[in-house]
Structure 1
């Protein structure tokens, strides 16, 4: 079986679970003694790899040297130079300077299978504006490139570098497609594949690059009237793009599998290296909406994939396999709570399941789908039987036709005869969901503590969010912020119809990042419905968002100023009535604290005084890690919705 191993415990445990302020000892106990298959490191990882610095954002996984098992050599960067060093030695075998004014960046650097070449990029960000980050002390100041909507973005230039000589060959591709990512080398090291998209992500090109000449050719090009893929095509997101398995290469057959929503729903398509479509491998009728391809089984010529095939539970995942040599699709498992799966060296499928209230298991299946055993399960002895009091609900969007999903957390000791204030947690962006909570959802634990303090906490995935097909996702395309919130207000009202304990006279809202934007927008657009707002690291006006907003708006601000103006909220702040708490970290390089300074200045200008602004010194984008954040948040809602 030739399925790439996934490092779920490392990814989920150290990135998501550590990002918020819930009880880490409790989760450590739940996750105790997981099997080795959940701890598999990436192919380019080695325990002796040196830490090089922060990731693309300060809250991302740090950068480490990239390791080649074939020649036991590390590649890294130091002061903008690229170097190679042999395992066991701290001495550089070779150090290569960048072109004048540029610097080498190890992110997305990829070794050839024979270990003789590294594809790696230089970055030119001389035309990019910089933001000021204040670190642990006010005197510790860093300036970092940052690009907002419509502004110049860095230029990436990839090179094929010879590890022995340091000679480099320019990789040739069209600069009109600035979001460029290395995907994978051919097994014989003669060529590799890249993905490139235009700035608005309406076209994606799959490039085949000759490693001897650097010349590239387009073997597949996909276009859309809206955007394709979205956030993970941005510069700096190469690892996330790879993790979503947009492409699965089958080198020995000169074929690849392409994930596309061209039919309106994500499905898998089999292509030859000549770019010719061989046939679709999946279809919505048999397997629903594909989530991800999860690996190719070379022995049996199957592609394994996860999908959402139950329209009544649109975020409930199932595992399937599809034959590349015959038109057959088989369901492996539709057990509850499936997150994903990995494989072992012994032709075993390991399906990871996580679901409230107390489901956390790793089940073993044969490649044919026969259940073998449960290899591991979480230890819930530290959690009481009623630690989570929750439900999932289906309600109608404001059109009264479209089903949307809601997740509700309640006090453990809920008395249905009492009245409880309501707090909505919102994100709202087209690339994220909040109503599919499981143990690995980063907000679950803090929201549950809020519920235990006497609140009904509601999470809603209205139209304009992902996982439900292209039309559902594109609902807010070109009009971000203008249409989404009606679904949220309607959903809360419907939930309260048969939950009399929900007090709709006391509804608050909270959000982080894009969610901070939507929480503030809710207070502005529905000032008589939402009575308190807690916004964290908020983005304010889409015209000043980071470039991530561009593909979802469908144009740059300079080309459609009226469209961005319609989505602006800073000129509507005079509608505010509710108390507002604004929380931001001074070292936030994702949504700079300048955005909150801008908001505070606007509030001062209109004479609005019913707000509090808290700066967390040295905190990055994940302000919730500050130990003061959670008690402060709970106290805010208690003061304004309970007292």
Structure 2
């Protein structure tokens, strides 16, 4: 029924669009389009002014200066009094230029400023000057004392500590440990005699990575089972001043490869007892990071994400007996996005702030670390916490970024908030329907907010942090010269996903001088890597998409289902399903675009992408040839068994099963229809080049026609300038039906 409804909606638009003649320029017209695109690329840069404000706060924390870049590379320096809400030229530009004698007033290369009690000090090329009474005097670099920040940035904790070095001396210096022939030895600091604590270690499976408790009563060690990481190879064919190729080899773990494992033990120096901790092997990406409890170092915790990414725990260990309990134990049937897990340990109150998607959205929880229970959900609702800016343990507040909280706007737009640990007193620091980027004063009394969208030029405002009140507007982007080039801002466009309910968001770039009475081919810039979302959300003064559009295309970028920053259900579409790439949603989105604009030609659709986007672009021709007709695939991870372990197991799961092969572009290469250009750099150490070569091998065996560009010496890339030129030529030839300009 849903498909019938879509057919009823789209069919009249399809009939209407077919009445328009296809846009198909002559060779001469297309040559001119190349020239116009190159001209736009050269003139558009530097035509957008006042798009950003980078504040340089003075030591008093109440004033700051910034530099505006204006027309013809001129500059101006502005001083802002944040308390009064006023701004003015930071100094008399003409007088300072006259004093310096070698610069004009509009091109002063000042890199730093200090203004105190009407005394101006400034730096040019790391040389400082003092300006008084119309004269400039060289001075030593001043010592700048900035106001200390009241908040600290909170990094995401690492689950793993890859450093396997051992602590040798206890914190109280009474004990010394050594490892000999793979076993642990202990001696008193004043003694020369050592006691052997283990006997089953050896050089192949040694004990090691010892770590003392803060009170020196215990230390933790591991029986280590090393696994050598296998290698990949690159043949560098075109080295300068050499007549032979060079073989480079490096370690590279692929899905299914084993990892070094760590079996945890507690050592008791007082009675020389060794206790095996009641916990499974730590067998994923290194040894655990230990946190000893501050008020009772009998206990420590560590975090464990199981291989396969379906279980995450915070485990507490009792060092007296090796018993454990789970303070947090999250399990899922799909995946837990390990690298986005946030934990913050509140030592003074024995609490933990922890992030989870357990309710279907990425939110924060407050954990009682003594009871091992959730005290409360801190954030809640159909929105996504995107990042933690800082935690104020004294005020019990969290400062964070989120998207999707504001109804009626793009759910990807970043907004800034603060909230109490108990989930009350939520304060929004950003209001406008846009993507926001905040910059705080050193003591966080004030902040600057720069907000924009792809279809909305940037505005920068100054605010008071206590209540978010706007003090003043600092700058609004000046785009007069920018628009004089004839360029138009991208359109933000939405359409329904395959479920008929979820909004899919993307942007549209058109040629400057398109003719709405002609039908233009569509090219999608695709990247469906599940680790993030990728459609730009801020103003772009220049983009390759717009440059490509100038050749006679409608160029789009879309975030389909299976990408991040939406609900858990939206993200789960990618689970063991990377070949999907949100392509069903993307197809519906482009069809909806054509229903709105008849000049969008859905019979001539191509796409291009790099890395995961390269996998997606080639896969579109294999799995959806009824819609996509041409693809440029650069350094694609075409077979998820060949690519890096951590990325692919995160989304495709562990162990490696038949689903890996079923979705491989190599396995499915014989299904190719349409036109395909493969690009690969021979020195790619991100996605091994053999990922592309295996596709080439399979295509040759299937007697398929395709194009291949191998770039000597190039790493993980879209092919560089030459590859981008070949990409344009490929689409011009295969979607417009015109031969590109002759360059020989």
Q: Distance in 2 between matches of 1:423 and 1:148?
A: 32
Q: Quickly say closer, same or farther: Cα 1:582–1:258, change in 2 above 3 A.
A: same
Q: Does 1:358 pair with 2:457?
A: yes
Which has the higher mean CA deviation after the structures are superposed, 133-142 or 264-273? 133-142
Which has the higher mean CA deviation after the structures are superposed, 27-36 or 427-436? 27-36
Q: 1:498, CA displacement in angstroms? A: 1.3
2:592 to 476, 482, 494: 494
Residues 295-374 of structure 1 correspond to what in structure 2 (within 5 A)?
A: 295-307=390-402, 308-312=404-408, 313-324=410-421, 327-348=424-445, 350=447, 351-356=449-454, 357-359=456-458, 361=460, 363-373=462-472
Q: Distance in 2 between matches of 1:564 and 1:23?
A: 47
Q: Quickly say closer, same or farther: Cα 1:360–1:495, change in 2 above 3 A.
A: same
Q: Distance in 1 between matches of 2:204 and 2:680?
A: 33
SS at match of 2:667: helix
> In the alignment, what sits opposite 2:249?
143
Which has the higher mean CA deviation after the structures are superposed, 480-489 or 190-199? 190-199
Q: 1:245, CA displacement in angstroms? A: 6.7
Contact 1:181–1:195 (CA under 8 A) maintained in structure 2:
no
1:128 to 226, 229, 249: 229
Length-normalised TM-score, structure 1: 0.71
> In the alignment, what sits opposite 1:200?
308
Q: Distance in 2 between matches of 1:501 and 1:316?
A: 29
Q: Distance in 2 between matches of 1:205 and 1:28?
A: 49
Contact 2:414–2:435 (CA under 8 A) maintained in structure 1:
yes
Contact 1:354–1:361 (CA under 8 A) maintained in structure 2:
no
Q: Quickly say closer, same or farther: Cα 1:187–1:139, change in 2 above 3 A.
A: farther
Q: Distance in 1 between matches of 2:285 and 2:607?
A: 35
SS at match of 1:505: strand
Contact 1:294–1:341 (CA under 8 A) maintained in structure 2:
no
Q: Does 1:630 pair with 2:732?
A: no
SS at match of 2:429: strand
1:291 to 366, 381, 386: 386
Contact 1:319–1:334 (CA under 8 A) maintained in structure 2:
no
Count of equivalent residues: 538
> In the alignment, what sits opposite 2:55?
35
Q: 1:614, CA displacement in angstroms? A: 1.6
Contact 2:523–2:607 (CA under 8 A) maintained in structure 1:
yes
> In the alignment, what sits opposite 2:95?
none
5+ residue gaps in structure 1? 1-20, 38-79, 85-95, 104-109, 114-118, 161-169, 234-240
> In the alignment, what sits opposite 1:227?
335
Q: Distance in 1 between matches of 2:301 and 2:467?
A: 31
> In the alignment, what sits opposite 2:351?
255
> In the alignment, what sits opposite 2:499?
399
> In the alignment, what sits opposite 1:457?
555
1:507 to 569, 591, 605: 605
> In the alignment, what sits opposite 1:268?
364
Contact 1:123–1:155 (CA under 8 A) maintained in structure 2:
yes
Q: 1:459, CA displacement in angstroms? A: 1.6
> In the alignment, what sits opposite 1:415?
515
Q: Distance in 2 between matches of 1:588 and 1:292?
A: 31
What's the CA shift string for 1:73-121, capped at 9, x where partnerless? xxxxxxx99899xxxxxxxxxxx99987899xxxxxx9x99xxxxx999
SS at match of 1:587: coil
Q: Distance in 2 between matches of 1:292 and 1:496?
A: 36
Length-normalised TM-score, structure 2: 0.62
Q: Distance in 1 between matches of 2:315 and 2:286?
A: 10
> In the alignment, what sits opposite 1:40?
none
> In the alignment, what sits opposite 2:735?
641
Q: 1:415, CA displacement in angstroms? A: 2.9
Which has the higher mean CA deviation after the structures are superposed, 192-201 or 423-432? 192-201
Q: 1:511, CA displacement in angstroms? A: 1.2
> In the alignment, what sits opposite 1:554?
653
What's the CA shift string for 1:527-551, capped at 9, x where partnerless? 2321211001111123434322223
Contact 1:428–1:518 (CA under 8 A) maintained in structure 2:
yes
Q: Distance in 1 between matches of 2:264 and 2:444?
A: 37
1:480 to 573, 578, 581: 578
5+ residue gaps in structure 2? 1-40, 58-162, 168-178, 183-202, 215-219, 267-275, 739-744
> In the alignment, what sits opposite 2:20?
none
Which has the higher mean CA deviation after the structures are superposed, 500-509 or 28-37? 28-37
Contact 1:446–1:630 (CA under 8 A) maintained in structure 2:
no
Q: Which has the larger radius of gyration?
A: 2
Q: 1:482, CA displacement in angstroms? A: 4.4
Contact 2:350–2:368 (CA under 8 A) maintained in structure 1:
yes
Q: 1:284, CA displacement in angstroms? A: 0.4
SS at match of 2:565: coil
Q: 1:476, CA displacement in angstroms? A: 3.3
Q: Distance in 2 between matches of 1:451 and 1:541?
A: 31
What's the CA shift string for 1:389-408, capped at 9, x where partnerless? 31111211233233222221
Q: Quickly say closer, same or farther: Cα 1:140–1:337, change in 2 above 3 A.
A: farther
Q: Quickly say closer, same or farther: Cα 1:531–1:319, change in 2 above 3 A.
A: same
SS at match of 1:490: helix
Contact 1:22–1:445 (CA under 8 A) maintained in structure 2:
no
Q: Quickly say closer, same or farther: Cα 1:154–1:140, change in 2 above 3 A.
A: farther
